Chains A and B, each alone.
Chain A
Amino acid sequence: MGKQKPELPQGTLDMLMLKALSLGPMHGYGVGQRIGQLAEEMLKVEEGTLYPALYRIEQRGWIKSEWGVSENKRRARFYKLTRTGRKQLDVEERSGRIFHWPSARCCGRPEGREPWAD
């Protein structure tokens, strides 16, 4: 994979976020954690870049947000997948695009598919 700073293709990040949220509503920090589990490369990226992406897909209607209370009793903004978002995620997963992220540990690849050389 090389030493370059990982560039996140916009679409892939979007999909990762949808995937992360498909496991349940979460605040921004939590989304970042989950994406980090799904794709190790994400851990190296500045965390702040998550938010423009979140806002963007919120504008597209794939997720929606509301204020809530976190585990440690603080006010936080929670994001949740919408029906449109869920549909989008299904489409993307079936098309196989989500697997082009190298070293992604995304769940459920179809048999025998090994799109990256490593």
Chain B
Amino acid sequence: MKVFIVGAGEVGIHIAQSLIREGHDLTLIERDAKKVSQLQSSMDVLAVCGDGCNPRTLRHNGAGDADLFFAVSDKDSVNLLAALTARALGAKRCVVRVADPDLGRNPLVRKDEEILLLYPEQLVAEEIFSLMRVPGAGKARFFGEGRLVLLQARPSIMAAIYGKPVKELEGPANWILTGINRAAGIVIPRGDTILRPGDLIYAVGPTETMHEYLVSIGIEADPTKKVVVAGAGQVGASLARLLVKQKIRVVVIQRGSSKAFDLAADVPEALVLRGDATDPEMLREAGVEEADYFVAATQRDEANLLSSLLAREMGAKSVVGLYNQPEFLNLMNAVKIDIPLSPRMMIAGHILRMVHRREIISLDLVAGGNAEVVEFEVPAKARALKRPLSKLNFPRASIVGAVMRDQEIFVPTGDFQFEEGDRALVFTLTETLPELERVFRGR
């Protein structure tokens, strides 16, 4: 495959590294001449010094023939323009990194199905958020800007859910059981399926009632009440925004005054402190000793390592440490930071998923690859639009967990009728995926 990358920042280089390993043919465009010469000598790529938006530079270096075009510099407007230009020149598919969701709503970009948007900082924040949201046993993955959640959990053996058909189970509204993982394999439940102790379940529902759902299956861990975040960069700020929406108390520590003010202005529910997160005095003022989570998300790995250590010593229940340089993983493990995370790895993971499939916006998590959760956007003229769900010949090994239409969330019943632009969250056995794709493909 011919791959074109605009912007040789951390994300760009990481994508390049992963793709080179898969044997693709790479061209990198970067403005900074010093970086270009460095790349030229250290990696097997064609590195070009130039402006990623300049049509002449793009054409000259063959962006028009690219199978994949990544616009991942740290400037949203540059990325969007580069991608649009590349598409006009003939690039087959573009992945655009955008930090500001508003810019991502550009109508030109939305119209073009071959331009995929990527919000790296938002993704990392959501990943951290999902870790905090599911206390104890479970795992969670969020969809539809965090409004929908797919939950993986093992119900308590004490829960009053066994022996009854699934359709008679009680719980919060709009939750649907989409899969059961048993020793025998994955089962897609029907109304009369009966749960057994020891089952690992997958369920889809609205994020705001996740806690109630967990309670209904007998999982009652303390929900997260307070989080201290070091660093009000994109990741820290997005995380703070996600947390305050769930009424979780958030304290953010940020060194510079302008970023601190911006966050305080933007998220009034969060308490923003101006100071150095590696200063024990500062952590005490933030009340780190009563925090359920401490997240070290500053730009500097050293600061993250040090503040994570301090926070743990001072009594934070769990500590999440972000790092960029791979060597820090070992260090963080050596000092027993609970959850070391590399934003770059996460982003690369997302991108690689985007490379291999389209339409399927996110899939992950489920049971060793036997089953998948797929988010479909229903295109114009799809088969799914023709008749109600019960008459669609929907594959038996698939189940629609929820449908998002604008701001609304539906749990579809038999007479549900899809509309163009609906986003359906479908839980399916992997072998059924091609059949499912036919239902949701535009013609």
A-B complex is real: no
Give residues in B with beta carbon < 8 Å to A.
none
Which positions in A face B, CB cutoff 8 Å? none
